[in-house]
Structure 1
Amino acid sequence: MATSGFTNTHRLFLQAAISKRLMTEATALDLYSQDNFSDFVGQLNEGLNSVELEFRRAQDEVSGAFVMALFDAIVMADDEAFCISSTAALHEAGKLKNKENKPLALSKKDAESLLDRFVKDQWLIRSAAGAYSLSMRSLLELQTYLKETYDDQIQECTLCMEIVTKGQRCVVAACSCRLHNHCAGTYFGNMNKPVCPTCSSAWTGRTLIGLSDRTAAPSTVRRRRRRREDGGAEVGEDGGQDENGGDEEEDA
């Protein structure tokens, strides 16, 4: 990282920004608490340029709401698919609302442009079959947000304890074991009869998390149900209880 003009003030501000991931302009100004904030950010980005990072300011409520809606649909995808189709992604764009719960106008063309931008900026990955999933950048930079927001819905690899959205899972539905493909390959490499590291059931490697790059995602948004914090019955996103304990399906 370039050090010319890069002071301890820049370093402290950068540490705070990294810990928060995202912050409002008011929070950023409180952290800096001096004049010439634009010049300060310019110096900060000069120092970050050598490691291909940038401190950005954004005012686009629509794109922010859209990417959060996409993240929610991907993380909550039924049967741990951790991806959604382009049709389902565009359907999410049509449901966007602002903080006042009023609809946000986003045309299909604008939604498609934003999807292209999210892929270009490496927040999302688009598979050969047109399915959108979380990128490595999202999993690394938004790890704290994802774990805090989705808690028991997000999955961690039993071996390396990092988030896993593509990999293998135990054939026993009640078992919590999830593995990255590379972790599974290393762990089971010398076993003639692989068994689950958690429950010791036979491990086939054919029960998957996520979809293969050439498998199309469902055209409808189908979410897993969230559980109440008190451990009660499962509830849907609208707070309504599902009499059968099943999944909620929304037409795309």
Structure 2
Amino acid sequence: MIITFLGTGTSQGVPVIACTCEVCTSADKHDKRLRTSIMIEAEDKVIVIDSGPDFRYQMLREHVMHLDAIVFTHEHKDHVAGMDDIRAFNYKQDAAMDIYATSRVQEGLRREFSYIFDEFKYPGIPQVNMHTIVTEPFHIGSVKLIPIEVMHYKLPVLGYRINDFTYITDAKTVTDAEKEKIKGSKVLVINALQRQPHISHFTLDEAIAFAQEIGAEKTYFTHISHRLGKHADVNPLLPQGIELAYDGLKIEI
């Protein structure tokens, strides 16, 4: 199974268009961070977790010719805004896209993309099959996903464990019960927004402490703000076994 980091950045902080900091102006490809998302390529399914505003470009950049499903973590715009662009896959595959989300996230999608769910189906609009996620594990083909609930300030967000790989974004607090679902993972992906305190995201120090508590063989940080600093400056300072993820990174699990 191949995991591709489609994006490792965030909308948090100063918009890139107005920012002249060393990260936003860096020529290093590791600092070119699109909105956070990953792609899972299994033997029988290709799955994307979250389709943010950069979804279309991410699919083009990775030359994705087939996509079976999108799984959502939560309903914030930087994680769902690109769902309209599934229409290309609808056309090519001649099938509706399977969408996996909690009932609350589905409500957000219906507000954001009301035209998709209207009784009158306008020609060419995205076609979806909605599947409701709860707290129980579920399968997409051969891929088993175990939901892990974390808190993004007061908003519940789902992370997912797949075999020995755990992916979590937008976390600030995680209960002991949910940590038990994560422990034993060989690879952990967790958000590390910035160095300064933040109300709804792990800081760099909090992410390091969480990673060390879980004790995965390898931890990658994602959902990185430009405020964290340049990849070349931050990565060498991280503890052994912990690295910053970057757009286009591929790992095999």
Between structure 1 and structure 2, the one with the greater Rg is 1
The TM-score with structure 1 as length reference comes to 0.25
Higher relative contact order (CA 8 A, sep 6+): 2
Task: Report which of the two has the higher share of helix.
Answer: 1
The TM-score with structure 2 as length reference comes to 0.25
